[in-house]
């Protein structure tokens, strides 16, 4: 290989093909062996090495690397161990460096933990050795190449038609919607599906740690992503920074990929100052737990706000909470849709609209606060 210039993939393939066509110790490769060997060598040079086969499989939803010798993957809701492994820890680290460099991220002993993504939008989380005791670790969360629509979620019985129609009306009427759920419950997928109801003439700004949202049908879309500081003097850009700057970019809606900390206060303030129709997600085990987490994360902003003031911000900023869960059979379901109904005796009141009980998502209440629906001319 000519290392003095950038070689194309085709040139690399040609060199590999020439080498595998030669005799080795008086023997030649069979056609099948050549095809397999050429792919393995090319993947190790230009793609994701032994992981490429898993990345190419559309049915694999998660890839977990626990050091160079242990690779696991999730397929159809079940976890399997791969028979492939990296040649060494150094080879694994070379791949990790290749992945982070593609999106201007840095991972090293000074910054051993990083979030990034693959070219196809898959979410990547990396922890280097020796922080990861058994070798550098990486998890890759896969997303469908084509965003899953609400219609597909209905087919999968993740939500029923009545609940989907209600959410469609609420999105069009610019209700602020927060999606909660546990790990791998489908929050990002559901947010992507909700986005198909955003009117196409609106301006939307998405804010994420690592860009993975697939907003559908919006032309006037600005995607913002955080940046880590590095040893070369590049300063960090946080979610809080991006929310503040987005307010000056004339957004109709702001979508924060996930709230994990102090940025929750900025998100709530943006929802309370005229940016109706905004979305976000967060980790929690129930709607009530999500409220507790929102309170805790808001306190992380360090402004020493009274708890009642924080609850008022939450109750007035968020209109609808949607909770998702991963069921024992590995399916993902909407389990609750609730409406914020103000504060009584210092506690946020939740008004249930839909609940998943005994295997069915059923309507249990009608929406109370219909001002935005009436303003939008929508009747439900």
Residues of the chain with CATH 3.40.50.300: 150-375
Residues of the chain with CATH 3.30.450.370: 47-141
Other Cβ atoms within 10 Å of 380 Cβ, number: 12
- What percentage of the chain exceeds 70 in pLDDT? 91
Q: What is the pTM of this model?
A: 0.83
Question: What CATH number has the domain spanning 150-375?
Answer: 3.40.50.300
Residue-wise pLDDT tens digits, 140-166? 998 877 788 999 999 999 999 999 999
Q: Is the Cβ–Cβ distance between 86 and 106 less than 8 Å?
A: no
| Pairing state between β 204-208 and 253-256 | parallel
Q: Is pLDDT above 70 for 2?
A: no
Mean pLDDT of 161-180: 97
pLDDT at position 211, please?
83
Residue-wise pLDDT tens digits, 303-326? 888 999 999 999 999 999 999 999
Q: Is the Cβ–Cβ distance between 89 and 68 less than 8 Å?
A: yes
- Give the list of residues 6+ apart from residue 31 with CB closer than 8 angstroms, or none: none
Q: Is pLDDT above 60 for 25?
A: no
Fold of 47-141: Beta-Lactamase (3.30.450)
Q: How confident is the model at residue 327 (pLDDT cuts 50, 70, 90)?
A: very high
DSSP codes of every residue in 138-195:
EEEE---SSPPPHHHHHHTTSS-HHHHHHHHHHHHTT--EEEEESTTSSHHHHHHHHG
């Amino acid at each position: 290989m000519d290392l003095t210039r950038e070689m194309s993939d085709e040139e690399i393939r040609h060199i590999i093909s020439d080498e595998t066509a030669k005799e080795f110790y008086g023997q030649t490769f069979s056609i099948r062996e050549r095809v397999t060997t050429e792919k393995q060598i090319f993947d190790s040079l230009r793609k994701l090495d032994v992981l490429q086969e898993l990345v190419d499989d559309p049915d694999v939803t998660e890839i977990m690397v626990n050091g160079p010798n242990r690779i696991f993957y999730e397929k159809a809701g079940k976890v399997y161990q791969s028979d492939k492994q990296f040649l060494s820890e150094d080879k694994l680290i070379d791949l990790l460096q290749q992945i982070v460099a593609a999106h201007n991220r840095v991972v090293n002993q000074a910054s051993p933990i990083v979030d990034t993504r693959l070219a196809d939008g898959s979410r990547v989380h990396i922890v280097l050795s020796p922080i990861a005791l058994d070798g550098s670790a990486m998890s890759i969360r896969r997303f469908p190449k084509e965003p899953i629509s609400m219609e597909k979620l209905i087919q999968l019985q993740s939500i029923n038609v009545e609940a989907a129609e209600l959410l469609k009306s609420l999105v069009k009427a610019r209700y602020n919607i927060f999606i909660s759920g546990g790990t791998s419950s489908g929050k990002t997928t559901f947010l992507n599906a909700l986005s198909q109801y955003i009117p196409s003439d609106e301006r939307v700004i998405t804010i994420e740690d690592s860009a993975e949202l697939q907003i559908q049908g919006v032309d006037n879309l600005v995607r913002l992503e955080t940046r880590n500081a590095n040893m070369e003097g590049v300063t960090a850009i946080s979610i809080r920074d991006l929310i503040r700057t987005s307010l000056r970019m004339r957004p109709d809606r702001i979508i924060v990929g996930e709230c994990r900390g102090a940025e929750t206060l900025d998100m709530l303030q943006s929802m309370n100052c005229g940016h109706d129709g905004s979305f976000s997600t967060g980790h929690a085990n129930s709607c009530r737990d999500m409220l507790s987490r929102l309170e805790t994360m808001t306190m992380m902003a360090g402004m020493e706000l009274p708890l009642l003031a924080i609850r008022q911000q939450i109750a007035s900023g968020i209109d609808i909470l949607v909770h998702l869960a991963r069921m024992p059979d590995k399916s993902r379901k909407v389990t609750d849709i609730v409406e914020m109904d103000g504060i009584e005796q210092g506690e946020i009141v939740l008004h249930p609209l839909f609940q998943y009980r005994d295997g069915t998502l059923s309507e249990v209440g009608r929406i109370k606060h219909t001002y935005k629906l009436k303003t939008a001319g929508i009747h439900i």
